[in-house]
Structure 1
Amino acid sequence: MVVACAGAADSATVLSLVVAAHQTGGRVICIIGSACELIQSIESLGHNSRYVEFVTGDVNTLLMSDYREADFVLIDCNLNNCEGILQRARMMGENVSVLGYNALCMDSWRCQSFNAHLLPIGEGLLVTSNKTAKKGGNLGVSGKKSKWIVKVDKCTGEEHVFRI
């Protein structure tokens, strides 16, 4: 799992990936832009930073060279040229899942340009579908078109998102 951050790593986001990686036997790589942000990220994660491999550098270069085999990529939409990064991440392979967080800062027309769904979760979650992936693949999914449904709990105000 690879997460690309615009600034210092968000501890809640990275820790949720650490938990998922622990369950799947994977690893978490966090791409940070500078050494200053790296120090802030390590401090915010505390002792949990030992479960994350931090890398500083250009997101585009690192994704297309060192982490080309990643099966899950999470991109901060506050990054410069996040649309280009999302496009390149989708081209990494058939089985890659690419998501963008902090996506409400993007205009909806920019999401349509690369076949993505903008969900109103947190500051916006962008879910992309890979056009190169086979319909159904080996996941047992039928070829029917699915849709997203958002329901808001009237008492608590919680948003529940379902894919049907």
Structure 2
Amino acid sequence: MKLVWSPETASKAYIETVKSCGLLKQSSVAELVSAMAAGWDAKLIVETWSRGGAISTSIGLAIARNHTKGRHVCVVPDEDSKSEYEGSMARSGHSAEIIVGEPEEAMEGLQGVDFLVVDSSVKGFARILRVARLGHRGAVLMCKNASSRVASDFRWRGVLDRESRIVRSVFLPVGQGLDMAHVGAKVEGPPRRNGESRWIKHVDRKSGEEFVFRKLA
């Protein structure tokens, strides 16, 4: 199985997030992220958040979770961040599961991540991408605030294991920049034999986008 896109569900989540976050700053990111998470029917949605961060994206993910009937988990670094996050979400009328701790510890029990959002402006953001246990259906990974992130030489291939197949990656000029990658479903079975199809990766030097093509023998 793999992630299957549903325009109808994406539209519903988008509209609901517009109504909830329309008056908040940087709500455009929340609306897009919500639509993406709902449209891909993400059952395990994970995000990172730290004290002082915007809450609109979290609201959008909570709305998406309602449409997919899945889980929305937020990983925070400390108790102060947890307290502020809980209060902000409660005031918005939403909630999420919260895990406090370092990425390696926090992600330990989260297997089968379908949708992951990290903040690129926070130092060490790539660590959680490296330790995330993605689902067999594939996953959608997003880095918000990508225009101001610490690691300007960031590459998706550098944070994903060799078994992960990047279907497409793209940078969107939304909010402070949104860098997104769609990781394909994992293919189980014996190694490819002579005469079978294979995948070829191509990187557009101008846009930086990565494309994967299937070549038949």
TM-score by length of 2: 0.53
1:87 to 1:11, Cα distance in 2 relative to 1, 3 A: same
Residue 74 of structure 1 is matched in structure 2 by 117
Kindly indicate whether residue 149 of structure 2 is the aligned counterpart of residue 96 of structure 1: no
1:127 to 1:43, Cα distance in 2 relative to 1, 3 A: same
1:87 pairs, out of 118, 124, 130, with 130
Q: What is the CA deviation profile of residues 43-86 of structure 1, one whole-angstrom value per residue up to 9, with x for unaligned ones?
A: 222344653111211123222x1112221111111232222322
- In the TM superposition, residue 108 of structure 1 has moved relative to its aligned partner by 4.7
2:171 pairs, out of 108, 111, 118, with 118
Kindly indicate whether residue 172 of structure 2 is the aligned counterpart of residue 130 of structure 1: no
Question: Which runs of 5 or more residues in structure 1 are unaligned?
Answer: 135-142, 146-164
TM-score by length of 1: 0.68
Q: Distance in 2 between matches of 1:42 and 1:55?
A: 11
CA contact (8 A) 1:6 1:78 kept: no
Kindly indicate whether residue 65 of structure 2 is the aligned counterpart of residue 21 of structure 1: yes
- In the TM superposition, residue 6 of structure 1 has moved relative to its aligned partner by 3.5
Question: Which runs of 5 or more residues in structure 2 are unaligned?
Answer: 1-44, 159-165, 188-198, 202-217
1:48 to 1:118, Cα distance in 2 relative to 1, 3 A: same
- SS across alignment from 1:54: strand
Q: Distance in 1 between matches of 2:72 and 2:112?
A: 13
Q: CA RMSD in A?
A: 3.1
Q: Distance in 2 between matches of 1:13 and 1:99?
A: 12
% identical equivalent positions: 20
- In the TM superposition, residue 9 of structure 1 has moved relative to its aligned partner by 5.2
Kindly indicate whether residue 78 of structure 2 is the aligned counterpart of residue 34 of structure 1: yes
- In the TM superposition, residue 131 of structure 1 has moved relative to its aligned partner by 6.3
Moved >4 Å (runs of 4+) = 47-50, 131-134
- In the TM superposition, residue 39 of structure 1 has moved relative to its aligned partner by 1.2
- Flag the structure with larger Rg: 2
Aligned residues: 138
- In the TM superposition, residue 28 of structure 1 has moved relative to its aligned partner by 1.0
